[in-house]
Amino acid sequence: MSLESILAEIKGVKGYRSAGIMDFTGEMLVSDSHDPQFDLGIAGATFNDIFRGAHEAAGKLGLQATDELVINTPNGVVVMICSGANRDPHVHIITVLEKGGNHALARMTMERMVPKIISELS
C-alpha cells in the first residue's frame, strides 16, 4: 500500500480541502489538495511548528507529547495527528477542512491511517 493510497482515505470526509503526511520535522512526504492555489507544503510546515511547540509544552508539564491538535477558525478547521513522539517513524498527518467540515470523522479516519503509514514507512 502506498502513502498516496493511504492518504486517499481522508478525501471522502465532508468539507475536505487538503491533507498531507509529513515527517516530524514538517517535510511533506505526500499531500493532496482540492485547491491548486493552496500550498499545503508551506501551511503544513507552519502548523507543524505549532504542533511541535505543543509537544514540547505538554512534555514540560508532565503530560507527555501532544497526540492531536485541532485549530478552529471562522473559515475552516485544521486537524493534526501524531503517530507518537517516541515512535519510529514519527510522523504527523494534517487535514484542512472547510467551515462546517466533519472534523470528528477526519480525526477518526486519520487515527485509522496511522498504523498503515507506520507499516509503509517501516
Domains located in the chain, CATH noted? 3-121 (3.30.450.30)
pLDDT attached to residue 35 = 82
Global pTM reads 0.92
Contact by Cβ (8 Å): 51, 69: yes
**Residue listed under C-alpha cell 477558525:** 73
Give per-residue pLDDT as tens, 40-76: 999 999 999 999 899 889 888 988 888 899 999 999 9
Give per-residue pLDDT as tens, 6-37: 999 999 999 999 999 999 999 999 999 988 88
Nearest CA to 31 among 44, 21, 43? 21
